[in-house]
Structure 1
Amino acid sequence: MTVRAESEVRSPELAGRVEELKERARRLRRELPDSAAAADAENADSAESMRKIWEAGLYEFHLPRRYGGITDGDPGVLTEDFLEIVLDLCAGDSAAGMNYSVQTLVTTEIFGTDNGLPESTKAELAELITRDGVRLVASNAETGSARPVLGRVVPGGIRISGVKSFNTNSGGGGWANVGLRMSPDDQPMSYHALVPLDSEGVRCTHEWDMMGQRGTHSQTIEYNDVFVPDGYHFPRPGMSPGALSALFLAHSAIMLGPGYGALDAALDYVRKLDRSTLPGEFDSATTDPLVRRRIGEYVSTLGAARAYLLRTAGQVAGGMDDLDLTIESFAVKVACVKAALDVTAGIFDLTGARSASNRYRFDRFWRNARTFSLHDPTDAKEVWVGDYHLTGAEPPVVAYLRV
């Protein structure tokens, strides 16, 4: 991640394209809530929202420029702009926004300059992404898995077997980027394998049944002696502190998005509400000072977290790549968790009892935020941030990436 790359992307040739994609995301923020509510009600994949995101050209953001992309697969370039896109998408449909974040993460892994994948594979995947809207899955988590994914060398490629949990963005098929280790008799190093989910030996369990983030369809996937040809597997390089910080900031944006979605929904509802908080004192909710005060509180709460998020993203885009930035990204996520949970729970004080009807599904904002917040305990992040500022201690490795 370099300042040079950032300045090149900010050239006049691409600056207009970046702004156009950001504007499309802002429009989607108002278009996605209906499909988000429907997917939530049906406990279904967010397929309709993802189709709209792809048709808006947003899958291309992290593709190399030779394929019509912008950042050349570098997550440290245009970080602020990318997170603004994620915030708007997650405000409209937080599950789809999370799916999109995974889509872009895997895109950066596939098109990284140091992974050794042949150009033919990259060209094939670029065409599938742009032409067909193929969805990409980061198949890494083994939490609760009885069988970690292992690979062994065979003529013409490798074969992989094992189980991955939490395969976000897998409800629409597509390709999984499977994290694995080669068997001890082969090469004891971390690998990735690119696997179409309709391959022989792949079993998608479709057991995803959660309180929130239902549209991510983060199901368990079994890989049973799946053949991966040469040219579609590659050593997995370690992530730099800057890349890890960008990942934490993306998680923060996913977290904060439902807060903005809840505020959008509450404002639309309150503008039509004929009942104030103080009965008999005011004609409508819009003239009630208590309603206005609470809205002002939520705008300020979300805005403070957003400003912290984007300021830190600017440090990533400026080339900062050290422990201070990692700790800052931890603190940003804490701020975004607290802001989102406060607002998503509090909007009912604005909207009233009638808004609790399932026809509105306003509770989905809190359910989505609360569900995603459990992935990475906030208390632990606060301990590590506090310890660093008090003693200078570096967080343990487990603090950096939980899968």
Structure 2
Amino acid sequence: MGVATAPSGPVPESDRTGPSRAHWLRVGRETADDLATDAVTREQAGKVPFDEVERLREAGLLTLLVPAELGGGGADWATAYSVVREIAAADSAVGQLLGCHYFLSWSARSFTEPPVPAQAERIPAADQGCWGGGFGCQELPPTLARKAGGYVLDGRQSYATGVLVADHLAVRAELADTGEPVAVAVRPGRHGVRIDGDTDTFGQRLAAGGSVEFDAVPVAAGDVLGSLSADEDVLSPRAALASPVGRLLSVQLLLGITDGVLAETREYSRVGHSPWHPAWPAGSPQDPHVLTVYGELTVLARSASALAGQALDAVHGGLARGEDLTYDEYAEISVLAAMAEAAASRAAQESTARALDIIGTRAASARLGFDRFWRNARTHTLYEPATHRLRDVGDYFLNGAHPPFVLPV
């Protein structure tokens, strides 16, 4: 996998047009620390996360990826991924909400030609609005019918992240005359848009998921962001990069969950006791069982993180190549992202399950909230199963097949 990568070192001060990467990483950590203080209480209450979105807005994180000249943070995807992972370690549902917002608000750059991207990016830059919705294909999408001067949108999207708190919606639709899938931006306050908080998942409860119904909603031609077709004759390699970009958000969410559960379990172990030997403090060199489990989980987490780093460098290089990117290079990038997601999925599932064994029966206490890590990881991996990514990697390795253009749910 020899895709050339762009330099990932620090950007010279003279070339910066916005706050530094160090600034945003510090803001991300501070926001994560704030969310961690009441994470268990908020998760158990399960309220619509208006307050959480306001915390992100006040920190300036909603406009992180918007170019500085448009009033945004001017950061790159590497910075956004690090922030999502930091937030997810404290509260993975809010991490998912933020990652979805980043992907949807950025997607206009992938699916359209200028000047539409600049127009779409000015919306969140001006009002720091939160984006919700999704482009993943799980069911029959809403239908977009052509009408004089624009379109009309009808149908339903059953599960969409962030819609309960969204200022802007971006959804997948299908053109009524051709069947081509397209990305569409819609204001949630438009006549004919109905949002229901009918999602009852046992995890990721604060991701503000719900369903959206569209009843003859007028859509301007400029709000059709572009094609989501998987046909290589329609989708350019540059636009296809939206798939691994989105997959890496899933990776960062899973790695954040892994970081969070291991950090909290370690802290608890240092003041608790071993489930195998009550006389020994958990985490003590005297308890080989606990040390072995921590060793195994640390290896899993570090391995997944290393793969994620390789995939991030490849995506960074692909974005830098722009229109010069080839389909073969895109395939290599996409496979690396799939490998990283499969590894992160395993790390998150094993860490969140086995951490409970380390703590023992005390982990069953609702007051401690350790179960939220397992429930959140399991909910996410049910929507984004690793088996699909492993199949893509195997088909590429054995047959040289390009991974399909699949966007995260």
Q: If the length of structure 1 is used for normalisation, what is the TM-score?
A: 0.85
Residue 383 (structure 2) pairs with residue 371 (structure 1): no
Aligned residue runs from structure 1 range 290-369, under 5 A: 290=288, 291-319=290-318, 321-369=329-377
The amino acid that maps onto 1:364 is: R
Other structure's SS at 2:268 match: helix
Contact 1:96 1:215 in 2 (8 A): yes
Q: Distance in 2 between matches of 1:105 and 1:226?
A: 24
Aligned pair partner of 1:97 in 85, 95, 98: 95
Deviation at 1:44, TM superposition (A): 3.0
Provide, for residues 73-115 of structure 1, a one-character-per-residue CA deviation record: whole Å limited to 9, x for no partner.
Answer: xxxxx43332222111111111111111111111112456715
- Taking the aligned partners of 1:177 and 1:127, their CA distance within structure 2 comes to 18
Counterpart for residue 219 of structure 1: 210
What CA distance in whole angstroms lies between the structure 2 residues aligned with 1:51 and 1:35? 15
| Alpha-carbon separation, structure 2, partners of 1:333 and 1:39 | 28
Q: Which residue of 2 aligns with 1:243?
A: 242
Contact 1:35 1:48 in 2 (8 A): no
Q: Which residue is 2:20 aligned to?
A: 17
- Tell me the equivalent position of 2:35: 32
Shift of residue 233 of structure 1?
Answer: 3.5
Report the counterpart of residue 195 of structure 2 in structure 1. 204
**CA apart distance, 1:312:** 1.8
Deviation per CA, 1:20-64: give whole Å up to 9, x if none.
111221233332234443343133333333322222222122102
1:137 equivalent to 2:136? Answer no
In the other structure, the counterpart of 1:285 is 282
Aligned residue runs from structure 1 range 89-128, under 5 A: 89-110=87-108, 114=113, 116-117=115-116, 122-128=121-127
Name the CA shift for 1:161/1:318 in 2 (closer, same or farther; >3 Å).
same
Q: Is the 8 A contact 1:157 1:228 kept in 2?
A: yes
Is 1:267 the counterpart of 2:273? The answer is: no
**Distance in 1 (alpha carbons) for counterparts of 2:391 and 2:109:** 36
Q: In structure 2, what is the Cα distance between the partners aligned to 1:280 and 1:235?
A: 61
**AA in 1 matched with 2:351:** V
The alpha-carbon distance between structure 1 residues 8 and 224, as it changes in their structure 2 partners (threshold 3 A), is farther
Query: Contact 2:116 / 2:222 at 8 angstroms: preserved in 1?
Result: yes
Name the aligned partner's letter for residue 94 of structure 1: S
Query: Following the alignment from structure 1 to structure 2, what is the Cα–Cα distance between the partners of residues 204 and 317?
Result: 36
Letter in 1 for 2:156: V
**Match of residue 54 from structure 1:** 57
Q: CA deviation at 1:263?
A: 1.1
Q: 1:5–1:60: structure 2 CA closer, same or farther, 3 Å change rule? A: farther
Offset of residue 162 of structure 1? 1.0
In structure 1, distance between residues paired with 2:7 and 2:155: 39
Q: Classify 1:344/1:392 alpha carbon distance in 2 versus 1 (closer, same or farther; 3 Å).
A: same
In the alignment, which residue of structure 2 is the partner of 1:195? 186
1:80 alignment partner in structure 2 = 78
- Are the counterparts in 2 of residues 165 and 218 from structure 1 also a CA contact under 8 Å? no
CA RMSD of aligned residues (A): 3.0
Give distance in 1, aligned partners of 2:31 and 2:194: 33
The count of residues paired between Structure 1 and Structure 2 equals 385
- Could you tell me how far apart the structure 1 residues matched to 2:201 and 2:34 are? 24
Deviations 1:304-342 (A, max 9, x none): 211110122012212374212211211111110111111
Which residue is equivalent to 1:75?
A: none
In the alignment, the residues of structure 2 paired with residue 385 and residue 5 of structure 1 have an alpha-carbon distance, to the nearest angstrom, of 24
Q: Using the alignment, how far apart are the partners of 2:179 and 2:386 within structure 1?
A: 34
Distance 1:311 1:332 in 2: 8
- Per the normalisation by structure 2, the TM-score is 0.83
Please tell me whether residue 400 in structure 1 is matched to residue 406 in structure 2: yes
Which sections of structure 1, spanning at least 5 residues, go unmatched?
A: 73-77
CA distance in 2, matches of 1:385, 1:111: 27
Identity score, percent: 24
Query: CA, structure 1 residues 304+139, in 2 after alignment: closer, same or farther (shift >3 Å)?
Result: closer
